[in-house]
Structure 1
Amino acid sequence: MFTESKMTYDMAEIEAFLRAERGKVLSEAEWRFRMRGYGYNLRRTDTGVEVARLPQNTVLGTLSI
C-alpha cells in the first residue's frame, strides 16, 4: 500500500497501516523507528500517539492506542 509511493492524508488508511505495522514489531521504539522510514513521526502524548508527516513534521492526527 505505502511502498508503492502512494502517500495519503486519509487518517483511516494511515491508522490501518500503523496498526498493522505495530503488530509486526516487539517494541514501541522499534515501531516508531520503522514508521520514520515510511515518512511518519510518532510521538506519545497524553491522548494517544500523535502522527506527523516527515520531513515537514506536519501533524496529521492522533491515534488512541
Structure 2
Amino acid sequence: MAQADIGGTMIEAGILDVLTREREKALSAREWKFRIAGFGYGIKEVHGARIVTKLPQGTELGMLPPQFA
C-alpha cells in the first residue's frame, strides 16, 4: 500500500487555481474529479485527508485545502 506524507504540504498556486476553477464549473464532486483528470490530476483519500496527485504516476503534490470538502 502506498504511503502518504500528510504533514501539510502546500499545493502550488497554479495547480490550486486549476482545481478551484474546475470545481466551480462542476456540478458534483464526481464530475470535478473527472474534469481534473483531464489536466493530469487526481484525488486520493489517505487517513481522512484528501491528497492531490499527478496522474498517471500518482506522485503526491500536497493536501487539498478544506474548502474543497
Name structure 1 gaps, 5 residues minimum.
1-9
Q: Is the Cα contact below 8 Å between 1:52 and 1:59 reproduced in 2? A: yes
* 3-state SS of paired residue (1:29): helix
Identity %: 42
How much is the aligned-residue C-alpha RMSD, in angstroms?
1.6
Q: Is the Cα contact below 8 Å between 1:51 and 1:59 reproduced in 2? A: yes
Shift of 1:29: 0.4
Shift of 1:17: 1.1
Shift of 1:44: 4.1
Which residue is 2:4 aligned to?
A: none
TM-score for the superposition, normalised by structure 2: 0.68
Shift of 1:43: 2.5
How many residue pairs are counted as aligned between the two chains?
A: 55
Which residue is 1:58 aligned to?
A: 59
Decide whether aligned partners of structure 1 residues 38 and 59 sit closer, same or farther in structure 2, where only a CA change above 3 A counts: same
Shift of 1:14: 0.4
Name structure 2 gaps, 5 residues minimum.
1-10
Q: What pairs up with 1:22-33 in 2 under 5 angstroms?
A: 22-33=23-34
> Within 1, Cα distance between the matches of 2:45 and 2:16?
15
Structure 1: 4+ residue segments shifted above 6 A: none
